[in-house]
Amino acid sequence: MYLTVCRSVSATARLHAHIKHSMAYSAKIGPSILSSDLSCLGSECVRMMECGADYLHLDVMDGHFVPNITFGHPMVECLRKSVGQDPFFDMHMMVSRPEQWVKPMAAAGASQYTFHLESTTNPGNLIKEIRESRMKVGLAIKPGTTVEELAPWANQIDMALVMTVEPGFGGQKFMDDMMSKVSWLRSQFPSLDIEVDGGVGPDTIHKCAEAGANMIVSGSAVIGSDDPRSVIALLRTAVAEAIQKRSLDR
Annotated binding residue at 169? yes
DSSP character string of 62-113: BSSSSS-B---HHHHHHHHHHH-S-S-EEEEEE-S-GGGGHHHHHHHT-SEE
Q: How many CB atoms lie within 10 A of CB 45?
A: 22
Annotated binding residue at 111? no
Annotated binding residue at 59? yes
Query: What is the three-state SS of 28-46?
Result: EEEEEHHHCCHHHHHHHHH
- Round to whole Å and give the CA distance between 248 and 3: 27
Annotated binding residue at 219? yes
Annotated binding residue at 206? no
Annotated binding residue at 220? yes
Annotated binding residue at 52? no
197 is catalytic: yes
Catalytic residue, from 59, 62, 90, 193: name it. 59
Annotated binding residue at 82? no
- Round to whole Å and give the CA distance between 226 and 63: 32
- Round to whole Å and give the CA distance between 132 and 106: 10
Asked if 19 and 247 count as a contact pair (C-beta separation under 8 A), the reply is yes
Annotated binding residue at 199? yes
Catalytic residue, from 54, 90, 193, 197: name it. 197
| Amino acid code (one letter) for 65 | F
- Round to whole Å and give the CA distance between 210 and 102: 33
Task: Provide the CB-side half-sphere exposure for 32 (13 A, CA).
Answer: 26
Annotated binding residue at 16? no
Name the binding residues for a divalent metal cation.
57, 59, 92, 197
Please identify every residue annotated as catalytic.
Answer: 59, 197
- Known binding site: residues? 32, 57, 59, 92, 168-171, 197, 199, 219-220
Binding site as annotated, residues for substrate: 32, 92, 168-171, 199, 219-220
